[in-house]
Amino acid sequence: MILVTGGAGFIGANFVLDWLAESDEPVINLDKLTYAGNLESLASLQDDPRHIFVQGDIADKELLKQLLSKYQPRAIINFAAESHVDRSIHAPEEFIQTNVMGTFHLLEVTRHYWEGLEAGDKENFRFLHVSTDEVYGSLHKTEPAFTETHAYQPNSPYSASKAASDHLVRSYYHTYGLPVLTTNCSNNYGPYHFPEKLIPLVIVNALAGKPLPIYGDGQQIRDWLYVKDHCSAIRCVVEAGQCGETYNVGGWNEMPNIEIVQTVCTLLDEHSPRADKQKYAQQISFVTDRLGHDRRYAIDAQKIQRELGWKPQETFATGIRKTVQWYLDNQTWLANVQSGAYREWLDKNYQGREV
Ligand code: NAD
Ligand code: TYD
């Protein structure tokens, strides 16, 4: 079996669902269930004995030791993290605690477990760390996309904490020989995305008749990857990646934020038109920029294609259509994640941002 951490979050839940759709190998899912963890995303696995959910912290060494000794996983995939840049600006400490200290404790316990495995199991064991393109910092408009050898230049507390965790993972390979792999992926979108991030936030606000907040001039560029393509890349790297290597994962889909929002608005006009027949784009509102806002990210995903034969299946046009439809079809999931805590976050992040 495999152990997944953070499997109740956006990408982790998609990964667990896809993994069990593709194979019968059981998954132990260790998740702290922070505000971002949601068991409703895994409701279809409620009676599935292949999914073993454990609520807990990746920094809890005793719990980790118990889980590894009981289940003897052949691989660990580390999704667990604090993941939202805006939250890292308001309250960075939890990012250091989970992303840095949590990954460190997970690595330590994993190392002792791995050292005690029999030769064959030891050789086949893998630790895959899921990371982000944000560790590379910001690109100018004409600079080439990030390759795996691009210098680390993180600019937010979030990206700095992920960079620190990437370095720790790397060091466990070079120092102890732990068979690690790291993936650095661009912005994901798709089902089960918590509506604090741009695309689901825009869908929720549009349908509720609220403003669609665009930070600064909306010309910041991100590369966007449909989440199920990210999941297939991770499966590919865990099975065939070379230990100690990092793989950049991206969708070859660079777009400015304003175009992302306009595309979502157009799809909503088509599939769920406003009662007054006006366009959703009318709700777009330019607001005060994010502090230290990175201007551009772009991923060069040639290495993973060349060496492992992976490439994305969805274009942005096909992926965003599926995503908007999923949100329209899953209004109960969406309503249930908008708890009091969610509304408090909206007040904290958006109130007082000048329009
Ligand atoms: P998310 O915030 O939706 O989910 C994170 C999950 O981790 C939640 O279920 C949460 O409960 C859990 N968690 C948090 N702290 C924990 C702890 N201490 N112990 C155990 N569980 C804990 O995040 P996501 O968007 O699914 O991202 C998953 C991973 O992928 C992260 O490591 C993130 O840095 C990385 N990543 C995300 C993106 C993206 O666009 N979302 C892109 C590239 C990489
Ligand atoms: P986000 O989804 O938070 O992901 P990340 O910061 O990891 O890239 O944001 C994507 C882009 O959208 C980013 O450039 C910030 C911008 N953005 C807005 O313009 N308005 C918003 O309300 C949010 C949440 C993000």
Provide the annotated active-site residues: 133-134, 158
CB 71 within 8 A of CB 116: no
Closest by CA position to 227, among listed 291, 314, 116: 314
**35-to-8, 157, 308, 350 alpha-carbon distances in Å:** 10, 19, 35, 18
- Centre of ligand 2 to C-alpha 198, Å, is 5
Which amino acid appears at position 115 of this protein? Answer: E
Q: Which atom of ligand 2 is nearest to the CA of 196?
A: 24
Contacts of 208 (CB under 8 A, 6+ apart): none
Q: Is residue 23 part of a domain?
A: yes
Q: How confident is the model at residue 148 (pLDDT cuts 50, 70, 90)?
A: very high
Q: Could you tell me if residue 118 is inside a domain?
A: yes
Q: Ligand 1 centre from 128 Cα, in Å?
A: 14
Band of the pLDDT at 326, cuts 50, 70, 90?
A: very high
122: pLDDT strictly greater than 90:
yes
- For residue 26, give the H/E element and its range: none
Counting ligand 1 atoms within 8 A of each CB, the residue from 77, 83, 88, 181 with the most, and so the one to mutate, is 83
Q: Considering every ligand atom shown, identify the ligand nearest to the alpha carbon of residue 86 and give its number.
A: 2
Q: Starting from the CA of residue 196, give the closest ligand.
A: 2
Paired residues of 3 in beta bridges: 28, 76
Average pLDDT over the chain reads: 98
Q: Assess if residue 156 is contained within a domain.
A: yes
Q: pTM value?
A: 0.98
Separation of CA 137 from chain center:
17
Residue 320 domain-assigned? no
Ligand 1 atom nearest the C-alpha of 185 is 43
What is the Cα–Cα distance from 105 to 21, expressed in whole angstroms? 30
Say yes or no: CB of residue 222 within 6 Å of ligand 2: yes
Asked whether 85 lines ligand 2 (CB < 6 A), one says yes
User: Which residue's alpha carbon is nearest to atom 5 within ligand 2?
Assistant: 85
Closest by Cα among 87, 37, 38 to 58: 37
Q: What is the pLDDT of residue 266?
A: 98
Which of 41, 49, 113, 22 minimizes the C-alpha distance to 76?
Answer: 113
DSSP string, 269-312: HHHS--TT---GGGGEEEEPPPTT---B--B--HHHHHHH----
Let me know if residue 116 belongs to a domain. yes
User: What's 161's domain CATH number?
Assistant: 3.40.50.720
Give the tens place of pLDDT for each residue, 66-108: 999 999 999 999 999 999 999 999 999 999 999 999 999 999 9
Nearest atom in ligand 2 to the alpha carbon of residue 260 is 12
Q: What is the pLDDT of residues 181-233, one digit of tens each?
A: 999 999 999 999 999 999 999 999 999 999 999 999 999 999 999 999 999 99
Residue nearest to atom 17 of ligand 1 (CA): 57
| Ligand located closest to 83 CA | 1
Kindly report, residue by residue over 262-308, the tens digit of the pLDDT.
999 999 999 999 999 999 999 999 999 999 999 999 999 999 999 99
Does residue 257's CB lie within 6 angstroms of at least one atom of ligand 2? yes
Give the CA radius of gyration of the chain: 20
Share of the chain above pLDDT 70, in %: 100
pLDDT reading at 160 higher than 90? yes
Closest ligand 1 atom number to CA of residue 37: 9
Print the domain residue range for 148.
2-187+226-252+293-313
The pLDDT assigned to 355 comes to: 78
Does residue 21 belong to any structural domain of this protein? yes
Residue 354 has pLDDT above 80, yes or no: no
Q: How far is the CA of 11 from the centre of ligand 1 (A)?
A: 7
| CA of residue 199 to ligand 2 center, whole Å | 8
| Domain membership flag for residue 95 | yes
**pLDDT grade for 352, boundaries at 50, 70 and 90:** confident
Q: What share of the chain is helix, strand, coil (3-state, %, to 5)?
A: 50, 15, 35
Helix (H) or strand (E) holding 255: strand 254-256
**Tally of domains in the chain:** 1
Neighbours of 36 (CB within 10 A): 22
For ligand 2, say whether the CB of 221 is within 6 Å of any of its atoms.
Answer: no
Cα 215 to ligand 2 centroid, rounded to whole Å? 8
Q: What is the DSSP letter of 146?
A: B
Any idea of the CA torsion for 49, 228, 9, 28, to the nearest 10 degrees?
A: 30
Q: Is 197 in the pocket of ligand 2 (CB under 6 A)?
A: yes
348 lies in a domain?
no
Average of pLDDT values for 33-49?
97
pLDDT at 15: 99
- Ligand 1 centroid – CA 6 distance (Å): 6
